[in-house]
A and B are shown apart, each in its own frame.
Chain A
């Protein structure tokens, strides 16, 4: 196989490449946060005039909360917060397709590039 000669890259083009990567990565990481789509949904059960008993805490648990400096009122939000683990099968299917599809695509493209590398390094068979 002919020896591949990569083109020389100009300074400007190098800079553009770095900027592209930066914008893409910061965008991908910040977008979900900024759009408020990130994180699990949390539901709170409201308890009127909370006491340790009505919050479902036994004396030992209540004792540790008090040692940490909490009162039933200030601890209520912390204690009653629960994650919502309900999910739709459609979105699970989408996730599976995205993850598997990503790896399949990457392995396929890598394979073609890898054959070129081996052919140039060790010569064509």
Chain B
């Protein structure tokens, strides 16, 4: 531990005589909100509607709310742990201190994959959107989407490379616009302002109500996660937030409330205007459901607004993903879980620049080479594994450091009910994924088993044992 206060104004993350460089503490609660909601809000603009295809519109709504419960548990648990373990790497650092190194290595990979795949999905959607604009404005049907996909990823990587404050301020602005666009679409189509265009009763009657019965509701849980996936990424900013113990719980919990509102409004307007078979097919039917809904309103202004909203949402999300994935990768490099080369911080921009650059080609490989629903599934699966880890994590946390032993910035209520609820909902979601994508699930876990063995028997020898435990906590109970 250092003998000076590195967070003080004059040092500000820089060691004496410029010998040390660390990340920069510049962010406030609004940036945390923008990082969390910015990553996720794109889930309302695309992807969630695969859940409609899985079980019909009602199934998607039920899945939306159950996933909302799942994520409320995630946010509560995460807020408690992270208000105490405030370091870049988020859940990775939590796992290292609470469960153990191998779990931490796995969690670090979940994070990197979930975010990098989400970034790829965003770039695909942005490319699609630009080709739609070309088609609608000038009748161009053979637009090459690739340069726009590449540009989106490179531009955001460059922004991240140059500094976190500008990156997340940019995110705050475009996320707010994308959120307001959903509200305006709801107000102008639902009958609050002007006449209602909603046709729920007719569009969801007969076979269209629950086309697969209750198994469809279960199956829809798979994509129900997509409404919220990524909100837990707020913890990655822990080392760059001015007062993590307050800003992180506040930003995260405000974020989940924003998302529950946006998700329900999105479902309401889309299912009230688009027939479910079209809405539910995110590849051949509705790639960008809110944009398609706006098209059917016949209002040029709404088409423009939701087009902009979709584009901004994808950019905000990809931006946050680059931020989060690189922080997780950086934190693992810094601890030698990965080659230490990745643990470098740019002396001027104070960003983990090598990790940012390294993840660019990986995002490109998937953005240019894999279909959207597959990429989304990779992301959801990594997220799901991470959510399975969280209840285990918080149960061990409360056991090893009972209340009162260490200072917690936020204490979540009703423990262990949220942990058990979360574990149960994860089990349901595994089954839902199994119904459509069982092979990927097994392939993915096979991958994690192999890399776990690789880490345990080879890579872990390069890791300092005691020094990786950096939190100033007392010895855990029972050890």
Chain A residues packing against B (C-beta within 8 Å): 3-4, 6-7, 9, 14-15, 17-18, 20-22, 24-33, 37-40, 56-61, 64-65, 67-68, 70, 75, 77-79, 81-83, 85, 87, 91-92, 94-95, 98-99, 102-103, 105-107, 109-118, 120-122
Residues of B within 8 A of A81 (CB): 277, 281
B206 touches A6 (CB 8 A): no
B422-455, CB < 8 A from A: 430-431, 434-452, 454
Contact between chains at B452 and A95 (CB < 8 Å): no
- The answer to whether A94 and B102 touch across the interface, beta carbons within 8 angstroms, is no
Pick from A20, A61, A110: contact of B203, CB below 8 A: A61
Alpha-carbon gap, A109 to B452, bound state (A): 9
Which positions in B face A, CB cutoff 8 Å? Answer: 53-54, 99-104, 106, 109, 113, 199, 202-203, 205-208, 211-212, 215-216, 219, 273-275, 277-278, 281, 284-285, 292, 295-296, 336, 338-341, 362, 365-366, 369-371, 373-374, 377-378, 388, 392, 430-431, 434-452, 454, 456, 459-469, 475-476, 479
With A and B bound together, what is the CA distance between A32 and B469 in angstroms?
Answer: 38
Which of A57, A83, A102 contacts B449 (CB under 8 A)?
A: A102
Provide 27 A-B residue pairs closer than 8 Å at the C-beta atoms, listed in order of the A residue: A4-B464, A6-B462, A7-B461, A9-B336, A14-B340, A24-B450, A28-B443, A28-B446, A32-B439, A33-B370, A37-B439, A59-B202, A75-B277, A78-B284, A79-B277, A83-B54, A83-B436, A85-B216, A85-B435, A91-B434, A94-B442, A106-B106, A112-B100, A113-B100, A115-B479, A118-B476, A121-B467
Identify B445's interface contact among A27, A61, A98, A113, CB under 8 A.
Answer: A98
* CA–CA, A115 and B329, complex, Å: 25
**Cβ-neighbour of B296 out of A27, A37, A64, A75 (below 8 A):** A64
Main secondary structure of the interface of B (DSSP, over half): helix
Please tell me if the beta carbons of A117 and B439 are within 8 angstroms of each other in the complex.
no
Query: B275 → chain A, closest Cβ, in Å?
Result: 5
Interface pair A29/B444, CB less than 8 Å apart:
yes
Which one of A39, A67, A81 has the greatest number of beta carbons of chain B within 10 Å? A39
17 new A-B contacts at CB < 8 Å, known A65-B275, A110-B103? A4-B466, A9-B336, A9-B339, A17-B338, A21-B451, A24-B450, A28-B447, A32-B439, A32-B440, A39-B373, A39-B374, A67-B296, A83-B219, A91-B438, A99-B441, A109-B456, A117-B469
Bound form: Cα–Cα A78–B448 in Å: 36
Given contacts A4-B465, A111-B100, contact A40 B436 (CB under 8 A): yes
Q: Shortest CB–CB separation between residue B313 and chain A, in angstroms?
A: 22
* C-alpha spacing A3/B360, complex, angstroms: 38
Query: Are B99 and A24 neighbours in the complex by a CB distance under 8 Å?
Result: no
Q: Which residues of A contact B460 (CB under 8 A)?
A: 113
Q: How far is the CA of A34 from the CA of B396 in the complex (A)?
A: 40
Determine whether the beta carbon of A38 is less than 8 Å from that of B466. no
Within 8 Å by CB of A114, from B101, B199, B374, lies B101
Is there contact, CB below 8 Å, between A121 and B101? Answer: no
Whether A6 pairs with B430 at a CB distance below 8 angstroms is: no
C-alpha spacing A76/B216, complex, angstroms = 21
- CA of A57 to CA of B204, assembled, Å: 11
Residues of A within 8 A of B388 (CB): 103
> Is A24 a contact partner of B447 (Cβ separation < 8 A)?
yes
The answer to whether B442 and A20 have CB atoms under 8 Å apart is no
Once bound together, how far apart are the Cα atoms of A118 and B401, in whole Å? 14
Which 9 pairs of residues, A with B, have the shortest CB-CB distance? A110-B100, A120-B466, A28-B447, A114-B100, A40-B436, A60-B202, A14-B339, A121-B466, A37-B439
CA of A20 to CA of B208 in the docked complex: distance in angstroms? 48
**Nearest chain-A residue to B439 (Cβ)?**
A37
Which residues of chain B have C-beta atoms less than 8 A from A67's C-beta?
A: 296
Contact of B102 among A14, A37, A92, A109 (CB under 8 A): A109
